[in-house]
Structure 1
């Protein structure tokens, strides 16, 4: 029988009354592997009809002995409650920071997603697999103490992975009994799970990172106002912008590119050559709060940058009535970095080409042309070293993590309506400028 069939057969077995309600639906997991791969597995009820098929060997190597592993996941209330999403995201970020300290700091951490068997957004939980290579009892005690410190909802779930003499893998969940004592409950067998057609996080992207319209991003920052005065300040500026803006008679050109592709230099040179207004996203009026939002979880950062695009759109509408407009980054940057950050694993796990997540928001002013500057990874490293410029954590990850960089680059190339026109930025500045200007004049014949 195929692994998926064995999984269904196992999950269909009779369940003990005490756990039947909890196991009405299996829990599936996507575990990020070294090098950017993903391993999928599920936990099912303990059966009595003999051994189950083992999970993916790559997952088994990280879950089973030697050593001991723990799954720590943060639940989110069903529906589109932004306040609950924000609370869950901030709790997970706080847990990540605490897991890197004290007795837990020596453990290995890997991104973990928990999702329903259908692979949809419903029931999606973000979390971490913590592996203790020494199997120290101090690790379990520190984790339970960490759970005790989480006094407000949502409270994270904790499962401990163990192996038996027959080389079967089990997860033993921890539950709080009587509000006072943590105890392990009935074990759940670790079994194979088929890889879903789409990465489990993709259906959730419109609510967590690639916001399809202004109101979706606005709702996230509205949920942040009780603890972030900067969120209220940004919303006040956004609410001053018209909901629908029209571009003027002059063309709008966006220049995109990774850090160290020469984007800033080329953008300024193009603006000078075209006698164009030069704008930037995020705009100057909110850049003073950029660091505050960069320190927050991804869903909050994305809402900030998304709303910055709508403020820039209002500036574009005014400026394009008087002259051409050149914009240093816009929506494509916001979306590409969000997709690459949220979708764990390697390039092959990204949403496929033509997926709706790559489509330009219908309520955002659309440019005439998007130019994407590209250089080889080796050239980027050569340029970036020694520059000493302040960079965001994601820009630093571009340098350190080739898988993340590849996901950003591929996400850029899949954007549609409008797509990106790539220009090789490796030659001299003069040659790159001439190539960009030639492309602009070819695509924007209305230029004087």
Structure 2
């Protein structure tokens, strides 16, 4: 039995039993895992594990007694089962006995293993029913028994992690005990290294492999793959220019794309294309990994449409790869804008196997104007549109990600003036970069 004076508890699902049971920092000269709690502010609260009772301070992410803290984590690699498990946990933690708790994002990272994603659950009352519900949840997750990390108070009030393996019939085995100490925020956000594997796809095959894993539980995935497989492997642009219009929701993309289309006597295309747009709701309800793979494949289908259309007329595209990548980056990188991958990072580079446009225009308006337009639309919102309205940092990160895109980069256009003035600016840029039409 654990001493009732413990201050908080942390529950972890392992990337592998051997990795999580490795000696803590200082026990054998190897670095132990690090943890980062996301929010509620814009900074990460980081901590790590130490072999002894050092004088370093405890992290600021545990509620004081009688409250208790818990968490759940899963490997964040490009694995469809793990992505779905993370999503399942996210949904379960919004229900039942967890309704009184505050749930924050948690990342587990380190040099020895891949990133893990999860949730820090702060229970201000610290009642036993929360722990019982969490253990029941863990035991019902699948064949591999998850690990349970319990954070308890030492004699001097310090925090210790006791790592347990859950066994049958309600038993458990202690695997490790290590001191919890505060750590500095890493130079790069812990999620940055994994972006190109789990959120931003730089090839058709990478996105296709994810959607292919979904055919057993998403019937529409098979239809998407059939459409993709009918497209040329490497679409090539025709002689007419291709102009992409990008921007946050409610920046005037629909109006501008239609106006430019009419002015140039062009063909207007959208990403995702009409042939798969009917399945957006299905994929929007899935984890980021699956959702982003779906939109990435949509870009390749649009590329085949662009290739054919640009042999006959100019082409205007309402959103393309930049949009898919910018929203993925902003979703995966928590906190402040400074947490984004630095400029010129590989995640901002255009995929080598995707047809490239001649010009990408990024429409921008002030945050106040964009929210006013959103409120006036009265349309059903996607999860990301809701996030855009609720979190002021999220649209800033999306827009900054747009601005860091390269090869091709975005040409920024202030969409605040009148429709006629914005159209004049856009047509001037098209003529400047694409020549006479």
- TM-score when scaled to structure 2? 0.90
SS, match of residue 188 in structure 1: strand
| Separation in 1, partners of 2:434, 2:180 | 58
Would you say how many aligned residue pairs link Structure 1 and Structure 2? 415
1:145-167 per-residue CA deviation (whole Å, 9 max, x = no partner) reads 111211244x5443233334523
1:381 paired to 2:375: no
Distance 1:179 1:230, change over 3 A: farther
1:72 paired to 2:63: no
1:293 paired to 2:283: yes
| Separation in 2, partners of 1:87, 1:69 | 26
Match of 1:54 among 50, 53, 57: 57
Question: Does the CA contact (< 8 Å) of 2:242 and 2:315 recur in 1?
Answer: yes
**CA root-mean-square deviation:** 2.0
1:28 is aligned to 34
1:250-293 per-residue CA deviation (whole Å, 9 max, x = no partner) reads 00000001111111111111100000000000000001111000
1:48-447 superposed matches below 5 A: 50-55=53-58, 59-62=59-62, 65-75=65-75, 85-117=79-111, 122-153=113-144, 156-178=146-168, 180-182=170-172, 186-445=176-435, 447=436
| Separation in 2, partners of 1:365, 1:297 | 27
Question: Does the CA contact (< 8 Å) of 1:64 and 1:163 recur in 2?
Answer: no
Distance 1:186 1:247, change over 3 A: closer
- TM-score when scaled to structure 1? 0.88
| Separation in 1, partners of 2:258, 2:147 | 50
2:25 is aligned to 11
1:36-92 per-residue CA deviation (whole Å, 9 max, x = no partner) reads 2112211233x2xx433114xxx424365451111211136xxx7x5xx11011111
- Structure 1: 5+ residue runs without aligned partners? 1-9, 15-22
1:330-378 per-residue CA deviation (whole Å, 9 max, x = no partner) reads 0000000000111122111110001010000010000000000000010
| Separation in 1, partners of 2:380, 2:317 | 21
- Structure 2: 5+ residue runs without aligned partners? 1-23
How far residue 327 of structure 1 moved from its aligned partner, in angstroms, is: 0.1
| Separation in 1, partners of 2:91, 2:294 | 22
Distance 1:249 1:289, change over 3 A: same
How far residue 97 of structure 1 moved from its aligned partner, in angstroms, is: 0.9
Question: Does the CA contact (< 8 Å) of 2:244 and 2:317 recur in 1?
Answer: yes
2:7 is aligned to none
1:44 paired to 2:54: no
1:108-131 per-residue CA deviation (whole Å, 9 max, x = no partner) reads 01111111147xxx4211111011
| Separation in 2, partners of 1:28, 1:196 | 10
SS, match of residue 413 in structure 1: helix
Distance 1:393 1:157, change over 3 A: farther
| Separation in 2, partners of 1:405, 1:176 | 41
| Separation in 2, partners of 1:180, 1:160 | 16
